[in-house]
């Protein structure tokens, strides 16, 4: 009888070890994994909630910008450049300066170029080249440049060729550059913060 009791005890220990190895330990490993996943999910939930809160704040701020200001921004950097409108504006500016309009053309896509400090930045608008030829007196030409600088969208002077003519007037050829908005990102790219 004593020997059979011993076998029972050995059997119980063996069963215990078997249960530990085949169920408890794998279950613990699985629980550890699930807990890690819970932590990851909690972090992601916090991130997404943070993004949503931030987005709500930004939308609130955006709504505070007046329509006039938004219109001015859109005028300054429109989605597209209308070549005819710009050419017409150049004519009107030239007339305003009392210089003589000779010719205006352009609309081709250009490169704005970047200063040394801006290298690496890809957030650049789309540049468009225009050429303007006028003639006039020195005050008229200066007035023309002043009006170009005060325009409600950028008309950057990229080059000027100025020569005096025999009639006492100056012939000026101006290379101008204006800009349109260029989106560099899509929404899908920005949702990486909540994809995992």
Partner 1 sequence: MADPSNPNSSFIPKRGPVTRRVTTASNQVYVFTLISYVLIFATLLGTGATYLYSEYVQSRLSDEVGKLNVAIQGFNDSDMKRVQDFDERLQQALQRFDNGVSIVSIFKILEEATIDTVKIDSFSLTRQADDKFLLSTSMQTDSFDSTIFQRSVYKLDKYEVNKAVSSIDIGEVSRSSVIDEFGGRPELVRVSFSAELEVPLSAVVYKEQNIASAASIEEMDMVPVDEVVPVPASSPDSQTEEDLGLEDVNQFDI
- The widest CA-to-CA distance across the chain, in whole angstroms, is 135
* Residue 92 lies near partner 1 (rule: CB under 8 A): no
Q: Using an 8 Å Cβ cutoff, are 162 and 128 in contact? A: no
Name the residue nearer to partner 1 (CB basis): 95 or 164.
164
By CB under 8 A, the residues from 8 to 47 that bind partner 1 are 9-10, 12-13, 15-16, 19-20, 23-24, 27-28, 30-31, 34-35, 37-38, 41-42, 44-45
Question: Minimum Å distance from CB 178 to partner 1?
Answer: 9
Strand, coil or helix: what is 129?
Answer: strand
Residues that bind partner 1 (rule: CB under 8 A) add up to a total of: 80
Question: Minimum Å distance from CB 95 to partner 1?
Answer: 14
Q: Which stretch binds partner 1 (CB under 8 A): 52-60, 85-93, 101-109?
A: 52-60
Residue with the two structure tokens 């085949």: 22
* Residue 109 lies near partner 1 (rule: CB under 8 A): no
Residue from 43, 22, 21, 40 nearest 32 by CA: 40
Strand partners, 100: 135
Q: How far apart are CA 66 and CA 72, in angstroms?
A: 10
Crossing angle of the two packed helices 83-97 and 138-149, in degrees rounded to 10: 140
Q: Which stretch binds partner 1 (CB under 8 A): 83-91, 101-109, 156-164?
A: 156-164
- 148, containing H or E segment: helix 138-149
Name the residue nearer to partner 1 (CB basis): 103 or 191.
191
* Interface map 135-154 toward partner 1 (x if CB under 8 A): --xxx--xx-xx-xxx---x
Q: How far apart are CA 85 and CA 100, in angstroms?
A: 19
* Residue 118 lies near partner 1 (rule: CB under 8 A): yes
* Residue 55 lies near partner 1 (rule: CB under 8 A): yes
């Amino acid at each position: 009888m004593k020997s059979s009791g011993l076998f029972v005890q050995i059997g119980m220990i063996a069963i215990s070890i078997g249960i530990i190895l085949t169920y408890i330990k794998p279950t613990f490993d699985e629980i550890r994994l699930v807990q890690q996943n819970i932590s990851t999910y909690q972090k992601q939930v916090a991130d997404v909630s943070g993004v949503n809160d931030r987005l709500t704040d930004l939308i609130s701020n955006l709504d505070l910008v007046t329509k006039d200001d938004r219109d001015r921004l859109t005028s300054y950097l429109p989605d597209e450049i209308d070549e005819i409108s710009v050419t017409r504006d150049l004519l009107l500016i030239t007339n305003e300066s009392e210089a003589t309009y000779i010719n205006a053309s352009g609309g081709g896509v250009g490169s704005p170029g970047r200063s040394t400090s801006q290298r690496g930045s890809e957030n650049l608008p789309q540049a468009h080249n225009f050429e303007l030829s006028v003639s006039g007196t020195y005050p008229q030409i200066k007035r023309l440049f002043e009006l170009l600088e005060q325009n409600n969208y950028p008309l950057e002077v990229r080059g000027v060729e100025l020569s005096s003519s025999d009639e006492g007037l100056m012939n000026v050829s101006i290379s101008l550059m204006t800009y349109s908005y260029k989106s560099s990102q899509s929404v899908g790219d920005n949702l990486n913060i909540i994809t995992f």
